[in-house]
Structure 1
C-alpha cells in the first residue's frame, strides 16, 4: 500500500527562514502514489530553492509519466548551483520524452561533482538516453557517477551515447552503471571499456550487464587489462 500524498519534507542544512536559503533538498516520496499533478506542485517548491547545492529526490514506484518528468527536467535546469544530484525514478513511466527532458535539465548543471540517476523500468530506448549521454559530457567536474538503467531497451546505440559522455569526465574517480536486460551485445561492453580507458583519475568502477547477449566481457585488449589493474572494479555479466 502506498502512502497518501502530503506536503514535501525538506531538510534545511543552512538554517534560514525561506526556501531560498536551503542548500540541501532531500525528499523521499517512494511508493506514495505520486502522479504528474503532484509533481507539478513539487516543482513549484523546488523552483524556490535558489541556493541548493545538494539535491536528493526519491520518487520511485509511483505513477509519473513523461509529463511529470518534463516538469522535473525544466526545474533541474534552473538549479545552476548544484554540486551533488541524486534522482530516483525507478518503476515509473517517463519514457523517451521524459528522459530527454531530464537530460536537458542535467546539462545545465555544469558544476556537478556527484551525479546519481535511477531510471530502471521506465520504457526508455536509445532515443531517450541520447540527451543523458550528452548531459554527462557537459558535466566535466564529475568525480562520482552512478547510473541505473536496468530493464529498458537502451541497445548498443544507446550505450554509444553514454560511453561518449563518460569519456569526457576526466576527473571521474568512481563510476557505477547497471544495464541489466537492456538488449545489449559485446559491442556495448567494448564501448564502455574504451570510455574507461579515457579516464585518468578513475579509481573504482562497477558494471553490471547481466541478462544481455554479452559473451566476452573480460577479453579485452592489453591496454584495458592494464587499466583494470589500477582500479578497484566489479564486472558482472
Structure 2
C-alpha cells in the first residue's frame, strides 16, 4: 500500500492503475475545502479497491463529509474502506450524508469507521441505524461510536439494525460511552443474541459489576454461528 502524508502529494500519483492507498492526514486542519480537493482526486481512482483515509481532527463539517463520500462513490470499486474521522463535526447532517453514500457503495465488503467524538448525538445515531441495513454487501464492520451520546436505547437500536443486515458476519464495536448495569446489560445481551449471522464479535462497553455478568456472556457464546467473542471494559 502506498501511504501519503501530505495532501499536495496526491497530485503526483498516477491513478490509472492505483489499487491500494493510505492517506494519513491527522491534525492537518484540511477542513471542508481540503476534503473537496481530496474527493475530486478520489473520483479519478477507477480501479482503487483498498482505501485508508485517516482524517482525525481536521475541522471537517457536514459539507466535507458529503464531499468525501461522493468521491468514494465515484471511485466505484472500493471494497475495503478504512474511514477514520474521529474528532470532527459530522453532527446529524454529516452523518446522514455519509451513510446515505455508503448505502450506494455496492462493492463495499469491509468497513472500518471511526466516528468517535463527532457530536452525532441520539438523532444522528438513529440515522446510522437506518442506513446501515442498506449497505448491500457489507460483511466486515468495525465501528467506533464513542462520545456521541450513546445510551441503552441507542445500543439496542444499533443491534436491531445489525440483526437486519443480511451479510454482516464479523463485528467490532466500541460503544463504551454508555454504562450498563444489571438490568440493561441483560437487555443488551438479549438483543445481541438475535444477531444470528455474526460469527466474530468484539465489543467495547462500560459496565457496573453484577452477579449475572458471566451468565449473560455465556448466553452470547451459545449463538449458533459465533466462533469468537471478546468483550472489553
Relative to the length of structure 2, the TM-score reads 0.80
**Does residue 1:58 correspond to 2:54, yes or no?**
yes
Measured at CA, do residues 222 and 94 of structure 1 come closer, stay the same or move farther in structure 2, by a change above 3 Å?
closer
Deviations 1:28-86 (A, max 9, x none): 11122221111111111111122322221110122212221122233333343221111
Give the paired residue count.
227
**How far apart are the structure 2 equivalents of 1:193 and 1:81?**
37
- Which deviates further from its counterpart, 43-52 or 212-221? 212-221
Distance (Å, rounded) in 2 between the aligned partners of 1:187 and 1:93? 30
> Aligned residue for 2:8?
7
Q: Tell me the residue number matched to 1:197.
A: 194
Distance of 2:10 and 2:155 partners within structure 1: 36
Distance in 2 (CA, whole Å) between partners of 1:113 and 1:138 is 13
Give how far 1:158 is off. Answer: 3.1
The CA deviation at 1:217 is 5.4
**1:97 corresponds to which of 93, 102, 107:** 93
Look up the match of 1:80: 76
- 1:226 to partner: Cα distance: 1.0
Asked whether the 8 Å contact 2:35–2:67 carries over to 1, the reply is: yes
Following superposition, the deviation at residue 173 of structure 1 comes to 3.5
Q: 2:124 aligns with which of 112, 125, 128?
A: 128
Give 1:196 deviation, angstroms: 4.7
For structure 2, the residue ranges without an aligned partner over 5 or more in a row are none
Superposition RMSD in Å:
3.2
Q: Which residue of 1 aligns with 2:158?
A: 162
- Rounded to whole Å, the distance in 2 between the matches of 1:86 and 1:19 is 19
Worse-matched range after superposition: 136-145 or 57-66? 136-145
State the TM-score, normalized to the length of structure 1.
0.79
Deviations for 1:109-140, whole angstroms, at most 9, x for unmatched residues?
13321111001111111221233223321234
**Which shows bigger deviation, 141-150 or 170-179?**
170-179
Q: Residues of 2 paired with 1:192 and 1:85: CA distance?
A: 29
> What residue is the counterpart of 2:222 in the other structure?
226
Equivalent residues of 2:31, 2:60 under 8 A apart: yes
What are the Cα deviations for residues 181-200 of structure 1, in whole angstroms up to 9, with x where unaligned? 24777547734652453333
The 5-angstrom pairing of residues 164-179 of structure 1 reads 164-179=160-175
2:22 is equivalent to residue 26 of structure 1: yes
Asked if the contact 1:83–1:114 (Cα under 8 Å) also holds between the matched residues in 2, the reply is yes
